Homo-oligomer: A and B are copies of this chain.
Amino acid sequence: MKWVVWIGSVRKGSYNAAIGRALKDLAPEGVTVALLPSVADLPIYSGDIESAGMPAEVSALGQEIAQADALVVVSPEYNYSVPGGLKNAIDWVSRLKPMPLKGKPLLIQSASMGSLGGARMQYHLRQILVGLDARVMNVPEVMVGAVHKKVSEDGVLSDEGTRDFIRTQLQAFAAFAAKG
Residues in B whose Cβ lies below 8 Å from that of A138: 129-131, 133-134
Instruction: Tell me which of A39, A86, A123 has the highest count of chain B C-beta atoms within 10 A of its own C-beta.
Output: A123
Question: B126, A126: Cβ atoms under 8 Å?
Answer: yes
Interface size range on A against B:
35 or more
A120-149 contacts to B (CB < 8 Å): 120, 123-124, 126-134, 138-139, 141, 143, 145
Residues in B whose Cβ lies below 8 Å from that of A9: 47
Residue of B nearest to A90 (CB): B79
A103 to B: closest C-beta gap in Å: 9
> Which residue of the partner chain, among B47, B79, B91, B116, contacts A79 with CB atoms under 8 Å?
B91
**A127-B123, A127-B126, A133-B139 as given contacts; A84 in contact with B81, CB under 8 Å:** no
For the complex, what is the distance from the CA of A117 to the CA of B78, rounded to whole Å? 19
Check A12 for interface membership: any CB of B closer than 8 A.
yes
For the complex, what is the distance from the CA of A141 to the CA of B131, rounded to whole Å? 9
Instruction: Tell me which of A13, A40, A87 has the highest count of chain B C-beta atoms within 10 A of its own C-beta.
Output: A87
Question: A81, B79: Cβ atoms under 8 Å?
Answer: no
Question: B83, A81: Cβ atoms under 8 Å?
Answer: no
1/0 per position for A94-112, CB-CB distance to B under 8 A? 1000000000000000000
Question: A85, B44: Cβ atoms under 8 Å?
Answer: yes
A114 to B: closest C-beta gap in Å: 10
- A residues contacting B by CB (< 8 A) are 9-14, 39-40, 42-48, 78-91, 94, 115-117, 119-120, 123-124, 126-134, 138-139, 141, 143, 145, 179
